[in-house]
Copies of this chain bind each other. A is one copy, B any other.
Amino acid sequence: MTVKLEDVAKLAGVSPTTVSRVINNYGAISDKTKKAVHAAMNQLNYRPNTLARSLQGKSPHLIGLIFYDVSHPFFGELVSRLENLLFERGYKAILCNSANDPEKEREYLRLLAANQVDGIIAGAHNENIPEYKAYGLPIVSFDRNLAPTIPIVSSDNAQGGRLAASVLSANGVQAPLIITGKELPNSPTNARSQGFHDYFASHGIEPATMAIPFETAAAIRRTEIQRLLTKGQYDGIFCTDDLTAMQVHQQALTMGIRVPDDLKLIGYDGTRFIQNYYPALTTIVQPLDDISKLLVDLLLTRINDHKADLDPNYLLPVSLHQGITA
């Protein structure tokens, strides 16, 4: 059984707050009390906290999680799993929603450089952050090229794009459109679009592409989708994220466009949230459990051995959630 701060307090005959103050050398404490607390700590072989471990030159057992924003259901689910897995392995998670703030992202990387966190799992959307390349420190990435030495875990985006195309194609789609974010050079997510195009190209069809940057406000996004649906040129749409697919679905219903009769629709991500609370949406499911486990395993491997030989890319297979929209 782990000895607790309270046990020390009880044995020393003081309050837990007093024990905490003695440990952290904070506040006015008499020498007599200090002595009693230290004696109790020794007697119980009380393991000091992370701060004390740091004082001894050991690690703080903190991991930085740098992602777009936990208010986005996909990143909320990913971060939730990562935090749980890290907790099981004795690490706590520092949360960084980097959104569109590269300076904030860099600040968290500097924490790592200063040994205030043991490692970082990053999947943020900012570009050209030099700190990723600057230190040979434990970092793993989700779905982003950060630096040549940083391994990337992704769902098999190309397979996902092909699967989406094959579902639409099997449903008779002849005029497909893909709605995707801004494609960054070298980003693994570009393979979703590539796989989609490749599949249709092999059937002699050239899909149209519409780019709506990820950070576009929902209201603007809705207007663009409305304009698009008004033209009615397409009989099948693949959105490379589920939130955009939800907007397309609801805009279509509002406009009296019958889904799937007039328009087939398929999304990407397939979070538990979507499967539970918007099950109508047919979507490509990223294996979030496996992604999270692999990210944590790779990071802890690198923390324990900075020179561990890791692959540059790890691709995990996707699956289909069959809803009623395609």
Contact = CB atoms under 8 A, between A and B. Distances in A.
B26 A71 contact: no
Interface in A127-159: 134-137
A239 B20 CA distance: 44
A156 to B, nearest CB: 23
Given A94-B95, A114-B23, A277-B247, A136 B17 contact: yes
B50 A116 contact: yes
Given A55-B55, A104-B87, A218-B276, A115 B24 contact: yes
Given A20-B113, A54-B54, A71-B76, 9 more contacts: A5-B110, A5-B114, A16-B113, A16-B135, A17-B113, A23-B115, A62-B94, A71-B73, A95-B95
A49 B116 contact: yes
B272 A71 contact: yes
Top 8 A-B pairs, shortest CB-CB distance: A218-B276, A76-B76, A71-B80, A49-B114, A24-B115, A71-B77, A95-B95, A70-B70
Contact of A83 (B24, B95, B134, B250): B95
Nearest to A69: B80
B60 A70 contact: no
Interface string A104-128: 1000001101111000000000000
A95 B65 contact: yes
A35 B104 CA distance: 31
Contacts of A96: 83, 87, 92
A280 to B, nearest CB: 7
5 contacts: A17-B136, A20-B114, A24-B57, A70-B79, A250-B278
A131 to B, nearest CB: 9
Could you say which interface size class chain A belongs to?
35 or more
A129 B4 CA distance: 15
Contact of A277 (B110, B114, B134, B243): B243
B134 A273 contact: no
A186 B55 CA distance: 43
Contacts of A25: 57
B71 A60 contact: no
Contacts of A97: 80, 83-84
Contacts of A81: 71
A93 interface: yes
Contacts of A55: 55
Contact of A26 (B57, B62, B94, B111): B57
A51 interface: yes
A301 to B, nearest CB: 19
Contact of A79 (B5, B95, B272): B95
